[in-house]
Amino acid sequence: MQELDLELIRKEIDKADSQLAEVLEKRLQLVMQVAAYKKSKGMPVKDKNREAKVIAKVASLLENKDYSIAVKNIMRGIIDQACVLEETALAEPSDRTFEVACFGPAGSFTHQALEDFFRGRKFNRHHYNTFEEVITSISNGDMDYAVLPIENSSTGGITEVYDLLRQYDCHIVGEQCVKIEQNLLGCEGATLQSIKTVYSHPQGFKQSKDFFRDYPHMEQIPFFSTSKSAEEVAEKQDITLGAVAGKAAADLYNLKIIAPAINSNNNNYTRFIIIAKRPEIIPNANKITLIVAVKHETGSLYKMLASFYHTGLNLMNLESRPMVGKSWEYFFFIDVTGNLSDPLVADVIDEVRSKSTYVKILGNYRAYEKKE
């Protein structure tokens, strides 16, 4: 048997790589032509059926079928990177100014989440008093994006937001987390003893319930938002009134912090979602949110959830919301890891559909990562 010459083999590999680079460049040039066509026609980037046919066709051209699986995986990677190029070509111009809806007035935690998420982009901020007004602004096409709180690490999911996401036509395109520190605020001269009535959003009270056990004389009045509560106290300038809100609201409305950090959990974070009218293809998206309903029979929920387990996808959150008019039947809001462009993930979603009576994908986006 002739001894192999490693250096000679490597030279042949270099030659093949040179030819491969030429072919890949030609293919990507053609991809950019496709992107230009799609942009002119308003077409989406992804075409699952077309991609599957391309991958299968290339594999069928191999003389050595032992390489089939490897070549299919390589082709998936090539197509994924081509899609990233197409997405860049189809993206909005970087100098565009976005119209962004925000729940609550300036100085709220939602305001902070908005500023953090859209930092580096041009935008006009629009404030709304209710969750439904915010979502309606997206559903009607009045706003490009909106920011809403959806979950707190101490008090759980915000049920009204979950319900509105199912009812209205909108999609999740991103998320942002903000550390929440609630404070008792008052006007000049106010003290813990003088304050008799406290305003805040219900979430603010829930996050500070341990504090209020020690001050039973304080009446808790639910209000539009934490920052709106601070604004109300600032306008009335009454030492018997207080508000549960953040430091930004105290600074904005020139209020004193009567009692700092009154939230029960020091590791208190709120997760905010960014929504848009239409779904967006997010490069490197790694989180999927969907709504599912299953038959009201034994084992139906288990069988549906098993689809995620058996394929190794991490189920990150599960919230149930009752169906109106159907006792003990529920919609399930699910957060799971994955990218819909991954054939494995797409197959899992198809399997979930086959085991469910209702499925709505709210979005595929990048999970929040804390920046050090």
Q: Which two tokens stand for residue 221?
A: 């009045």
Q: Are 148 and 130 in contact (CB under 8 A)?
A: no
Q: Which two tokens stand for residue 212?
A: 């209020």
Residue 131 among the catalytic residues: no
- Single out the residue of 285, 363, 296 nearest to residue 327, CA to CA: 296
CA distance 328 to 306: 22
Cα dihedral 219, 225, 231, 235 in deg (nearest 10): -50
- Letter for the amino acid at 113? A
- Letter for the amino acid at 160? E
Query: How many C-beta atoms surround the C-beta of residue 78 within 10 A?
Result: 17
**Which of 110, 155, 226, 270 is labelled catalytic?**
270
- Single out the residue of 302, 303, 289 nearest to residue 334, CA to CA: 289
Residue 110 among the catalytic residues: no
**Which of 272, 308, 331, 332 is labelled catalytic?**
272
CA distance 176 to 155: 17
Tell me the catalytic residues. 270, 272
